[in-house]
């Protein structure tokens, strides 16, 4: 067992004797009995591996074959080692002194074990606190390599991660022990025995050499530990005298009871009064005040009080336990709530210096989040905690730095945030040092029609996606069967409950993350890893490695996330939908791999109808093949994640697919920058920008565009904010320049992606608004010639209408209001006195409104009134001409 250090927070947080307290025979007997027990219950637990635990009494009461010779050793260890160690290590502890002569006792004894299978995690216990006053953690070792992995000579040992440790003295031997205070957050993990001699790749990286070796160690052995929770009790001759429990334990029990009660605030307050120095009480109180603020819109004057109380409790918790990453992250959240409250008061006319307050709070938020990131990174580097908490802190820190205008610093944080994404999955990472000799599937490119009106190199590159062809598939039939069986089992167990971490869920769709399926099925994990290494990664390199505009990753390709998706047409139709589908979107990561898992009706009488991947880019031109499907089950379509696409409605039957999102690890050499992360920088900057003031928002979007100049989504977003978020009644030159820049941004977006109906639509609207603005502010001389301006607007809106109709026919609409597009066209050409064309456009407005069944809506009635007025105007003017 090794101790991995952070900063010490308590007078004495742990004690560790220099020699083992249990013999090899005792630890072996405990392991053997535990193995038999877990194998039995695993059969009734769907065979799932992972973290398992059992109470020691239950373990030996259910095993008649167990060797109980270890019991005397453990009793001797308690009386001769553990109890004396606690008393000598914490002589001034309140619970160990007093007239009642309290004695130490064991309240629970739990045997824990973990992993020893492909994709195994390093933790035997999650990073958390314990009950009682003290915990004796006794390492029980392992029985050597159990997983089907490459042989490793380095032994695997137990380790204990404590938030407050300051000492590194190498792995402990099996049977050795660490005693720590229960209010210390710990995680039991496994590590290779040479953990401290491993080279750290570079300190700023999360993906260190030691982290990779820890994960390999977790895969190849199943490790065991015994955790004894201890408290004190007092003995009294008076049977009516109930001794008072130690304050720490009373506080803990009050806090845990509060989880189940509506009156949790009262219980938490009492817990904090019982034990003034317990940081967890203040953390929970702060969280509950934040929940109260976010869930109750009728707080009134109490809102400021609740925010101040949340800040107070988080600050108190941080002072008591400065190494708890959660506390610093929550403090930043409370400070943000305080800043937003001050901003509302400022907008309502309160007499206060908001700019100064904003600077103070943003600096405090940054400091708290930087501390949270520092602490969270330490836990992630040694696999003591997952990446979710760290990712959230990095997200909030990047947003805070953007609000402060520190964009260069924000980019560094975003890179680390992107690195978190590259560590999310336990699936195999590309081995760049191994030359695979096996063949990869053949493929051909799916191409969009070119545009003869431009010589732009970006438009000349019309490869949209690749599709695999031929006899060699990405997933062979046996692989498909194995995966679908695992998904069927999962869906049966969850009884329709969604377990996906993605929030964009539609009726008829069921999702499960591939990592979750693999964690319950080691054989599936091994098979998926082999497919990734032998087919997917080499295929992506072969296909995208020649792209000069967007070079391939420098680091190893890896899985960002992967989901099994089941589209059930009947369920979707029962909910009033056309079919089971996904809307138009872009993916996370760098590349998307979409693998078909069952047959379409064209290939099998039992197949589904509809479905497939709708590619927006294929709607340009006269073709109608904008919905693509792999040629057969096991074949794949692969594209860059920036390619806008949708899941076309599956209109009958069930369609199963596996989608794998790929990104890249940080390169081995620290001086090499992972160029593909520029795409992720841009994708992460865009939603962050929407949280900023307008001036900072525009700067943030421009920075995103600089990092990914090939993205059409960025100039589109910039155009929206430049044209629609400003004051059209502002006659200044600055506002005029913004409108013109907005038009140029939409035009740039269309050059990059001529198939985006939204960009064409908003360009047309912006041209119309610019024309009206120029008329009001006497800038007509700055506009293009009338004929050119008319052609540009008409072309933009007509193209938007044509593209949106194709999208709508495919069941993948952008939600563009086509009626408004026709109304704008009619209004514009009417101002040019082209009555015939205006009438043609205006007559389409009512047809569009009737087509979507919105004639009773207020906006539709208003639009129809405008159409009627314009048609009357045309009629009147035509009558005058006849006279």
For the segment 427-449, what is each residue's pLDDT rounded down to a tens digit?
A: 999 988 877 778 999 999 999 87
CA quadruple 758, 760, 764, 767: dihedral positive or negative?
positive
User: Which range is least confidently modeled, 112-126, 131-145, 661-675?
Assistant: 661-675
Give the integer Cα–Cα distance in Å for 850 and 842: 14
Strongest mean pLDDT among 94-108, 136-150, 292-306, 464-478: 464-478
**Phi, psi (degrees; rounded to nearest 5) at 178:** -125, 130
**189, 164 contact by CB (below 8 A):** no
Res 691: pLDDT: 86
pLDDT tens digits, one per residue of 812-847 = 999 999 999 999 999 989 988 899 999 999 999 988
| Distances in whole angstroms, Cα of residue 202 to Cα of each of 193, 208, 671 | 21, 7, 10
Strands 2-4 and 156-162, by their bridges, are parallel
**34, 54 contact by CB (below 8 A):** yes
Question: Per-residue pLDDT for 561 more than 90?
Answer: yes
**Phi, psi (degrees; rounded to nearest 5) at 22:** -120, 145
**Phi, psi (degrees; rounded to nearest 5) at 163:** -60, -30
- The rounded Cα 376 to chain-centroid distance in angstroms is 16
Question: Per-residue pLDDT for 11 more than 60?
Answer: no
Structure token pair of residue 632: 């057969």
Res 822: pLDDT: 94
- The rounded Cα 790 to chain-centroid distance in angstroms is 45
Among the listed residues 712, 771, 711, 763, the one whose alpha carbon sits nearest the alpha carbon of residue 742: 763
Answer left, alpha or beta for residue 17, where phi above 0 means left and psi between -120 and 50 means alpha.
beta
Res 152: pLDDT: 57
- Tokens 């589908």 found at: 581
Task: Assign 563 a pLDDT band (cuts: 50, 70, 90).
Answer: very high
pLDDT tens digits, one per residue of 649-677 = 999 999 999 999 999 998 877 666 767 77
Q: What is the mean pLDDT of the chain?
A: 87
- Tokens 């024309």 found at: 771
Res 240: pLDDT: 55
Res 117: pLDDT: 82
Res 504: pLDDT: 62
Task: Assign 198 a pLDDT band (cuts: 50, 70, 90).
Answer: low
Structure token pair of residue 477: 């039939």
Secondary structure of 784-796 in the HEC alphabet?
Answer: CCHHHHHHHHHHH
Res 453: pLDDT: 44
């Amino acid at each position: 067992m090794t101790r991995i250090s952070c900063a010490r927070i308590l007078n004495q947080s742990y004690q560790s004797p220099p020699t083992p307290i249990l013999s090899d025979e005792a630890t072996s007997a405990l392991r053997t009995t535990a193995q038999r027990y877990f194998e039995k219950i695993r059969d009734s637990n769907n065979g799932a591996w992972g973290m398992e635990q059992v109470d020691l009494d239950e373990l030996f009461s259910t095993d008649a074959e167990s060797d109980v010779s270890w019991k005397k050793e453990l009793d001797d260890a308690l009386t001769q080692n553990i109890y004396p160690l606690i008393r000598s290590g914490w002589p001034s502890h309140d619970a160990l002194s007093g007239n009642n002569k309290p004695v130490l006792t064991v309240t629970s004894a739990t045997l824990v074990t973990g992993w020893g299978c492909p994709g195994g995690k390093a933790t035997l216990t999650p990073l958390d606190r314990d009950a009682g006053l003290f915990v004796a953690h006794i390492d029980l070792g392992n029985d050597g390599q159990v997983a089907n992995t490459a042989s490793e000579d380095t032994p695997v040992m137990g380790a204990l991660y404590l938030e407050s440790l300051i000492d590194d003295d190498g792995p402990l031997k099996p049977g050795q022990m660490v005693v720590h205070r229960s209010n210390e957050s710990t995680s039991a993990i496994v590590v290779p025995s040479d953990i401290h001699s491993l080279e750290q790749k570079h300190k700023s990286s999360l993906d260190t050499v030691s982290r990779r070796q820890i994960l390999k160690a977790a895969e190849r052995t199943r490790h065991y530990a015994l955790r004894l929770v201890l408290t004190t009790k007092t003995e009294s001759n008076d049977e009516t005298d109930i001794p008072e429990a130690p304050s720490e334990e009373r506080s803990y029990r009050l806090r845990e009871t509060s989880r189940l009660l509506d009156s949790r605030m009262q219980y938490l307050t009492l817990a904090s009064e019982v034990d003034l120095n317990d940081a967890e009480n203040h953390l929970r109180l702060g969280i509950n005040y934040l929940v109260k603020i976010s869930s109750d819109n009728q707080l009134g004057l109490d809102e400021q009080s609740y925010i101040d109380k949340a800040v107070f409790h988080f600050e108190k918790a941080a002072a008591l336990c400065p190494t708890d990453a959660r506390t610093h992250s929550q403090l930043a959240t409370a400070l943000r709530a305080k800043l937003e409250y001050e901003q509302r008061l400022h907008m309502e006319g309160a007499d206060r210096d908001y700019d100064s307050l904003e600077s103070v709070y943003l600096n405090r938020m940054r400091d708290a989040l930087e501390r949270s990131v520092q602490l969270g990174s330490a836990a992630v580097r040694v696999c003591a905690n997952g990446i979710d908490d760290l990712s959230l802190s990095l997200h909030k820190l990047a947003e805070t730095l953007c609000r402060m205008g520190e964009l260069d610093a924000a980019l560094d944080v975003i890179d680390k945030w992107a690195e978190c994404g590259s560590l999310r999955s336990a699936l195999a990472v590309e081995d760049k040092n191994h030359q695979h000799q096996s063949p990869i599937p053949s493929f051909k490119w799916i191409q969009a029609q070119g545009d003869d009106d431009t010589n732009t190199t970006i438009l000349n590159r019309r490869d949209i996606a690749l599709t695999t062809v031929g006899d060699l598939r990405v997933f062979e039939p046996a692989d498909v069967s194995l995966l679908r069986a695992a998904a069927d089992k999962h869906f049966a167990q969850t009884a329709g409950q969604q377990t996906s971490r993605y929030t964009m869920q539609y009726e008829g769709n069921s999702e499960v993350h591939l990592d979750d399926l693999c964690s319950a099925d080691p054989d599936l994990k091994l098979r998926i890893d082999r497919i990734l290494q032998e087919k997917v990664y080499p295929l992506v390199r072969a296909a995208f490695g020649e792209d000069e505009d967007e070079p391939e990753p420098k680091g190893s390709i890896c899985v960002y996330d992967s989901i099994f998706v089941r589209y059930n047409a009947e369920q979707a139709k029962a909910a009033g939908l056309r079919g089971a589908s996904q809307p138009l979107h872009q993916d996370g990561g760098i590349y998307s791999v979409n693998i078909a898992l069952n047959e379409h009706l064209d290939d099998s009488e039992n197949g589904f109808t509809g479905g497939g991947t709708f590619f927006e880019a294929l709607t340009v031109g006269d073709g109608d093949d904008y919905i693509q499907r792999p040629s057969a089950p096991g074949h794949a379509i692969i594209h860059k994640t920036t390619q806008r696409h949708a899941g076309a409605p599956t209109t009958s039957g069930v369609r199963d697919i596996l989608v794998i999102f790929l990104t890249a690890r940080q390169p081995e050499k620290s001086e090499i920058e992972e160029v593909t992360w520029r795409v992720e920088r841009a994708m992460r900057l865009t939603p962050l920008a929407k949280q900023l003031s307008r001036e900072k928002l525009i700067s943030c979007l421009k920075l995103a565009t600089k990092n990914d100049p090939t993205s059409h989504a960025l100039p589109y977003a910039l155009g929206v904010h430049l044209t629609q978020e400003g004051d059209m009644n502002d006659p200044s030159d600055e506002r005029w320049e913004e409108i013109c820049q907005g038009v140029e941004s939409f035009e740039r977006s269309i050059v990059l992606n001529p198939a985006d109906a939204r960009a064409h639509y908003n360009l047309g609207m912006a041209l119309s608004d610019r024309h009206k603005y120029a008329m009001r502010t006497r800038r007509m001389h700055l506009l293009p010639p009338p004929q050119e301006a008319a052609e540009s607007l008409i072309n933009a809106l007509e193209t938007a209408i044509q593209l949106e109709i194709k999208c709508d026919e495919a069941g993948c609409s952008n939600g563009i209001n086509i009626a408004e597009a026709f109304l704008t066209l009619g209004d514009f050409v009417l101002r040019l006195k082209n009555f015939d064309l205006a009438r043609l456009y205006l007559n389409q407005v009512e047809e569009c409104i009737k087509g979507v069944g919105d004639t009773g809506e207020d906006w539709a009635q208003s639009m129809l009134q405008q159409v009627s007025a314009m048609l009357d105007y045309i009629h009147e003017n035509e009558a005058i001409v006849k006279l």
